[in-house]
Homo-oligomer: A and B are copies of this chain.
């Protein structure tokens, strides 16, 4: 865990004003306080002083000390840990119900979403967690006058019971018992169900709309979110520096990307597109931010026009010096408050405007419509080109994975040497791994909070260790470690499952079946046009054979120094029509979880690549494995593997050994040589 800055005494606004003035900062004390309110709402991350660059480029030690002091003071005023379960959850629910009454609503939808539909949401958008205590990365609460429910997916079945008070909320599996069914049962006939139009897409609401209409009721867009109305100490919007992402990592100039998106709009007969995914905006303009945890996203909206120009709507205070030059002539920057007016201008010109189905808020769609524009639901025009990494990005990903492989391998060697005494626990493992990663060149952050699950904790799919749940790594148990990093040249995500002491035959059987699934997918060849959904079963088949499965997707897209979860492709049993294309990165992560006993997952990132053309053959694709870390051979049971599967594992281990050994210290190299011996040897 990174250390908080030392917090010296804050000498007061007058002294700070003087310091600002003498440094030549453009900020006065009021603007600075506004800035710092945003800074404490942004994650601290691994580079907690970066934000000071927004105050002044040349800073005296005295200024830095006082900025840190002000930050500490304002951070101390932040509300307590969101996840904390306590008696005030009942009060919050009661307050919300009173507010609903005031707004003449019979109910309200509280999604775990912000106006960007992102996976990470800033503290001010953590309405679901604030209200219910649930901190998972996906979920929905439905609050009616007499009854409420929280809907979660398979990853959070255990967690929701831990975090949410069952006396206040029903627990529901979002696909097995969807909100629609619950509404049809519990919404009063003719009921008015409120929603915040900034937090939902048109498609996202359609099933709920149908259910509400079936009860003769209607959905009501709220001007003011009723949760915000009763959330007295709601945090500010985050502010973190927005910086250039150099072309040496991005591989393509932003101007070229803008021209490409403009040409696509032209081809589709569209005038403009709303860019409502911050990752798309980051990709399109070759910029990165730090507004949400573990992902270098700058929150904001953009309008991409068919002529290749872009209007960016973003808090001006967060633009690092020099960014406007980097953005160039084709990009205008305005504060977010101007966004609505820009949509109205498109309306007055009767423009056809693409709105991304998966992230475009209903507020945007309705604003366009009422202003006279034609919103055209479609796919974010950046999504596909962003997903298909160029040669520079692929080469960066390979380099990043080599460095990441060194860090994880050093950790695994360290673990083998130290775990025997029974002193290593989950949190210590997280910290040790973090230390190894921080040594890597171009390291910027972790790509998500490490999942470090010993024994039964490994069976909690999206487990996060805390001092309360922290567990020693014990003999005869399995240890599941899912982690990743953000490097300037690439994003990593890897899971390894390690045997502590001697595993049982059942553990080895299950692990080997998971591995067989991993290999079947990793070694697959498939025709162009194939989607990830079509391949999903390959990863599950060896488990299905013995009546087992796992309740999560098999693979997610990964960004290039961007989100560790990105679309539009995925490998999942959930239908997805997006064909895999060369350059796409995707995880390959089958697993098996025995509740109360252990969890197993084997995850590598892979890149889609074209197979060499063969006369008489269709154009085929396959996967290049990017991740370079040994798989625990002590858990492999060669007896249930085919010769091809064993050959795949041995070849992978040989490649890991050859790639990493030159970069390792001698003891780790020795450990690696042993860890990568042929299976069955």
A residues with CB within 8 A of B: 184, 210, 213-215, 268-270, 352, 374, 376-377, 524-527, 530-531, 533-538, 541, 544-549, 573, 575-577, 611, 614, 616-618, 620, 642
A618 contact from B214, B537, B547, B575, Cβ within 8 A = B547
Given known pairs A269-B214, A270-B214, the reply for A544 and B527 (CB within 8 Å) is yes
In the bound complex, what is the Cα–Cα distance between A538 and B210 (angstroms)? 36
In the assembled complex, which residues on chain B have CB atoms less than 8 Å from the CB atom of A549?
527, 618
Please tell me which one of the listed residues B210, B213, B524, B573 contacts residue A544 in the complex, with CB atoms under 8 A apart.
B524
Q: Are B269 and A620 in contact (CB under 8 A)?
A: no
The 8 Å CB contact of A526, one of B531, B544, B618, is: B544
Q: Are A547's CB and B620's CB within 8 A?
A: yes
From the candidates B210, B537, B614, name the one contacting A535 in the complex (CB within 8 A).
B537
Q: Please, how many angstroms separate the alpha-carbon atoms of A548 and B527 in the complex? A: 8
Q: Report the Cα distance A549→B525, complex, angstroms.
A: 11
B533 engages A617 (CB within 8 Å): no
Task: Given contacts A530-B537, A534-B573, list 8 more A-B pairs with CB under 8 A.
Answer: A184-B268, A184-B269, A525-B544, A525-B545, A537-B537, A547-B616, A547-B620, A575-B577
The answer for the CA separation of A213 and B270 in the assembled complex, in Å, is 11
Q: Which B residues touch A541, using CB under 8 A?
A: 524, 538
**Cα distance, A536 to B620, chains bound together (Å):** 17
Complexed CA–CA distance, A215 and B374 (Å):
11
Question: A184 — nearest CB in chain B belongs to which residue?
Answer: B269
Given A525-B547, A547-B611, do A352 and B534 touch, yes or no (CB 8 Å)? no
Contacts of A620 in B (CB 8 A): 544, 547
Chain B contacts for A547, CB-based, 8 A: 525, 527, 611, 614, 616-618, 620
Taking a contact as CB atoms under 8 Å apart, the answer to whether A210 and B617 are in contact is no
User: A617 to chain B: which residues have CB within 8 Å?
Assistant: 546-548
Return the chain B residue nearest A535 by Cβ: B537
A215 touches B269 (CB 8 A): yes
User: How far apart sit A2 and B533, CA to CA, in the bound complex (Å)?
Assistant: 46
In angstroms, Cα B652 to Cα A186, docked, is 52
In angstroms, how far is the closest chain B Cβ from the Cβ of A296? 32
What is the CB-to-nearest-CB distance from A641 to chain B, in angstroms, rounded to a whole number? 13
| A575 contact set on B, CB distance < 8 A | 531, 533, 575-577
List the B side residues contacting A270 at CB < 8 Å.
Answer: 214
Q: Are B269 and A618 in contact (CB under 8 A)?
A: no
**CA of A573 to CA of B210, assembled, Å:** 28
CB distance from A267 to the nearest CB of B (A): 9
CB distance from A253 to the nearest CB of B (A): 29
A213 to chain B, nearest CB (A): 7
Question: Cβ of A545: which chain B residues have Cβ within 8 Å of it?
Answer: 525
Task: Kindly state the separation between the CA atoms of A611 and B548 in the bound complex, as whole angstroms.
Answer: 13
Q: Which residue of B lies closest to A525 (CB)?
A: B544
Give Cα A213 to B352, complex, Å: 9
Name the CB-closest residue of B to A547: B617
- Known contacts A534-B536, A535-B537, A549-B527; A214 and B268 CB within 8 A of each other: yes
Ranked nearest first, the 10 interchain pairs of A and B with the lowest CB-CB distance are: A547-B617, A575-B575, A527-B549, A534-B537, A214-B269, A547-B620, A526-B544, A525-B544, A184-B269, A534-B573
Q: Is the CB of B534 within 8 A of A376?
A: no
A576 to B213, CA, bound (A): 26
Chain B residue numbers with a CB within 8 Å of A536 are 534
